[in-house]
Structure 1
Amino acid sequence: MHFLDLSTLIAKAKQALTPGPVALVLVEDTVEVASTFAHLQSLGFAQVVAVGLPAMTEHAEAPHKLDYDVSADNAMPALANALIKALPGMWFYYCYNGEYLYYPFCETRNVREMLTFMQEERRKSVMSYVIDLYAKDLTAHPNGVDRDTACFDKSGYYALAQHDAAGETLERQLHVAGGLRWRFEDHIPKDRQRTDRVSFFQAQAGLEMLPDRSFNLAEYNTVSCPWHHNLTAAVASFRTAKALRRNPGSRDVINSFHWPQSADFEWSPQQLLDLGMMEPGQWF
């Protein structure tokens, strides 16, 4: 279905988007749109929505398309909060074009099985970590994107405890950084340097996504439950590479993203598990 605006989508959400889970893909440009949707569909998402301006979403092989300005201030929180109210109980996942979701055992277990397990763990969100991908040769691929030679940083990541306004440590909440956003931090706004992202969330009454993409209910922002570690996911993303190559200030001074800690990306969840970039928790 093609929705001409958000209000039309909300009016028809129960009819169009059930059963879930629902994947929302914010389409910012025409780079790797088709591969993003093919990847999500291979994971077993029941509903996939291409969210963006018509000129962008016409490239999307998705069951649903929503005309929406993803560059507007608070575009994602506004979209998420409208859908939370419309579809309580529904699981949502969000990403951008040129991003690829991985979770433990995703080569043999679909996303519905993963979310069923998380519900059994009494979790209503899944923490993920964005892993920056980049082309090995920026001369051959000046936009920083090439799936065939995709690389990523195999080390150089760190996590810090989160604190509230009073300086108190927030329980089980982390600030994670690394990848291109760490190595080229001078070119990245500070509020965009974090790599942790609550990619999955289950809608419920009173839930609200805040402007920084965290949630007003603290438990949604936690890495795991209090009694043991939970499953986490990874989002392999060309988005930062694209931004650094698109911005004249960084493009003119960055000739290569490759460095001694670069590794070829194998498009495999096992590689990310082996490097500790996601974990299975109690899911065996």
Structure 2
Amino acid sequence: MRYGDLDGFISSTLPKTIKGPLAMIFVEDLLEVDSTLRHHMDLGFHEIALFAPTELTLPRDLAEAVHRIDFHSARQRPVDLINRIIAAAPDIWMYYCFNAEYLFFPFCETRSAREMLSFTTEERRDSVLCYVIDLYAGDLVANESAVSLTEAYLDRSGYYAQSRLDPANHNHPLERQLDFFGGLRWRYEEHIPQRRRKIDRIALFRAQPGLHLRENHTFNIEEYNTFACPWHNNVTATICSFRTAKALKLNPGSTYDISDFRWRNSARFEWNSQQLMDLGLMEPGQWF
């Protein structure tokens, strides 16, 4: 089903038929839209709201499987659209990402997103911390956009965390909250605005009345922004993303400074959750 704007989706479909989990995918360019959709469908997201420009053409099977909403990235902010959906459909699990981004969670090859979120709900958690791990093509001559599914690399080290300070409480550290850094945003930080260098994103969450997503990928309810509950570690997830690599290669201010993203700590991405757990980029918590 296609909608000219978000109003049509909200008034005719969202509160009536969407039970969740709902994936919201925002198309910033036309790269790897099909693979992004198919990946998330394979994870068990049977309800997908695709925010896409009018010039995007989808194969028939994908066009019939998603709720497509016309999207103009130059004048519409995803955070505003997400907050409108949160307000319209409280109490369902939601997820958001951009094209050429791929969600992985522990054991996702054999367990669905619905199973993982059901377990998270049983643990009395309303959010799942996700780390955005940069992917990049190994050959930038053959892949000028820095995107290659068949020859994708990631950094296997160089990730770190800092205490997240509370500006409303004399900059004391916030409980169970950290700012995470690493990947291309760390290695090429001179080309990345400071406010965009974090790699943590609360991309999986359960909507509720009054919940509001902020521009920095955190929420106004602070418990949503924690990496674990007070008594034990929880499931975390990874969003493997070409988004930063694309931006660095397509931006005139950085593209000529980069001939190869690979370095001594690059590793071929194997497209499975075990590799990400082995690298310490996500964990199952109490879910085995």
TM > 0.5 fold call: yes
CA contact (8 A) 1:30 1:59 kept: no
**Correspondence for 1:159:** 161
CA contact (8 A) 1:125 1:220 kept: yes
**Correspondence for 2:16:** 15
Q: Give deviations 1:206-250, integer Å, cap 9, x for gaps.
A: 111122221110001110111110000000000001000100111
The 5 A counterparts of 1:217-232 are 217-232=221-236
Q: Secondary structure at the match of 2:34?
A: helix
Q: Secondary structure at the match of 2:253?
A: helix
Mapped to 1, the partners of 2:155 and 2:79 lie a distance apart of: 29
Q: TM-score, length-normalised on structure 1?
A: 0.96
Mapped to 2, the partners of 1:230 and 1:105 lie a distance apart of: 14
Q: Give deviations 1:74-96, integer Å, cap 9, x for gaps.
A: x1221111111111111110000
Amino acid in structure 1 at the alignment position of 2:228: S
The 5 A counterparts of 1:119-138 are 119-138=121-140
Q: Give the share of equivalent positions with the same residue, in percent.
A: 49
CA contact (8 A) 1:19 1:46 kept: no
Mapped to 2, the partners of 1:215 and 1:167 lie a distance apart of: 18
The 5 A counterparts of 1:66-81 are 66-72=69-75, 75-81=77-83
Aligned length: 281
Q: Give deviations 1:6-38, integer Å, cap 9, x for gaps.
A: 11111121234x121100000011101000000
Mapped to 1, the partners of 2:53 and 2:150 lie a distance apart of: 28
Mapped to 1, the partners of 2:212 and 2:257 lie a distance apart of: 40
The 5 A counterparts of 1:12-51 are 12=12, 13-16=14-17, 18-51=18-51
CA contact (8 A) 1:100 1:237 kept: yes
* Post-superposition offset of 1:192: 0.9
CA contact (8 A) 1:51 1:70 kept: no
Mapped to 2, the partners of 1:216 and 1:63 lie a distance apart of: 29
Q: Secondary structure at the match of 1:231?
A: coil
Q: Secondary structure at the match of 2:90?
A: coil
**Correspondence for 1:194:** 198
* Post-superposition offset of 1:136: 0.3
| Structure 2: gaps spanning 5 or more residues | none
Q: Secondary structure at the match of 1:258?
A: coil
CA contact (8 A) 1:134 1:144 kept: yes
Q: Secondary structure at the match of 1:49?
A: strand
Mapped to 2, the partners of 1:210 and 1:128 lie a distance apart of: 15
CA contact (8 A) 1:93 1:200 kept: yes
Mapped to 2, the partners of 1:206 and 1:87 lie a distance apart of: 11
Amino acid in structure 2 at the alignment position of 1:107: E
**One of 206, 209, 214 as aligned partner of 2:210:** 206
What's the RMSD between the two structures over aligned residues?
A: 1.2
**One of 261, 266, 275 as aligned partner of 1:262:** 266
Mapped to 2, the partners of 1:228 and 1:131 lie a distance apart of: 24
Q: Secondary structure at the match of 2:176?
A: strand
Mapped to 2, the partners of 1:79 and 1:141 lie a distance apart of: 32
CA contact (8 A) 1:95 1:199 kept: yes
* Post-superposition offset of 1:127: 0.4
CA contact (8 A) 1:127 1:197 kept: yes
